[in-house]
Structure 1
Amino acid sequence: MVRQKEKTGGPGALSRWMQHRANARVNRKVRKGRGTFMGTDVLILHTVGKRSGERRETPVAWFPDGDGARLVVASGGGSRNPDWFANLMAHPERASMELPGQETVPVTPQRLEGADREAAWRRIAEAQPRIAKYQSRSDRQYPVVRLTPR
């Protein structure tokens, strides 16, 4: 029997296992040069675990932001930010991104706030209305992060 975490509201072991398998499948597609999932462009975000220090690779949707920068949204589909966001903010100096069929490049992540976030959010919501719909159903404001190649 698989037990769900009750107090933290986090995913249980089965859910984490399924997510890990799905992420691995999307990562393989990105590495073969096919970088879309459900009609959205996807990159592989490389981070280091906040507590574990272990390398992590997470497929995330991205949106262009000029000069090679990409915007990513920490939606996670739940009531809390996804783990990749916590890892990224804890170790920003160790972050990198991998675009479809390309080499991994180090990035500087910047969490957007205020007017910068609002302008970026408008572009994201216009490009992908589905994400705006998810945001409207959430009690938290999704963080938006700009990934700038170093």
Structure 2
Amino acid sequence: MADRYSDPDMGSWNAKITAEFRAGHGKVGGVFADVPLLLLTTVGARSGREFTTPLGYLPDGDRRIIFATNGGQARNPAWYHNLLAQPQVRIEVGTGTQIEEYVCTATVLTGAERDAFWNEQESRAPVFAEYKSKTDRLIPVIALA
């Protein structure tokens, strides 16, 4: 199965969303128009190269909660493996008038805390239930702080 690093269409799609995000100071159209969006930059676990991925998130005080859905594929997305290897990541969050950049530490959530955020995201964005139904893996939930 292709991931965003080996699938030229997904890489191109992510690049377009990233460019639109930066040009619009965090505002984008299409499927992400009404979704809180951030840009996550990880360092490749094998390559050492930086990769930037647009992701929807849930705000939680000073934290931002992200979900390694990979569209419901059988394996976790490459960015998840990268942040496991190097939990210090960079994020960009738009305010509508500017982009704020933060260095964060990624922490994989477990148990009741993980489940509560997953359930909240599923209620806000029903497509997450579809992602869950497509895979047997427990989709990781990650806090960025």
TM-score of the superposition, structure 2-length normalised?
0.86
Instruction: Please tell me whether residue 143 in structure 1 is matched to residue 137 in structure 2.
Output: no
Distance 1:13 1:79, change over 3 A: closer
Matches within 5 A, 1:60-75: 60-66=55-61, 68-75=62-69
Unaligned runs of 5+ in 1: 1-9
Aligned partner (choices 42, 52, 62) of residue 57 of structure 1: 52
1:19 alignment counterpart:
10
Q: Number of aligned residue pairs: give it.
A: 137
1:30 alignment counterpart:
21
**Contact 1:35 1:99 (8 Å CA) reproduced:** no
Identity rate, percent: 34
Larger CA Rg, structure 1 vs 2? 1
Moved over 3 A (4+): 12-15
Distance 1:13 1:144, change over 3 A: closer
Distance across 1 between alignment mates of 2:124 and 2:16: 24
Aligned partner (choices 100, 115, 118) of residue 118 of structure 1: 115
2:40 alignment counterpart:
45
Aligned to 2:83, the other structure's residue is in SS state helix
1:97 alignment counterpart:
91
Aligned to 1:99, the other structure's residue is in SS state strand
**Contact 2:3 2:78 (8 Å CA) reproduced:** no
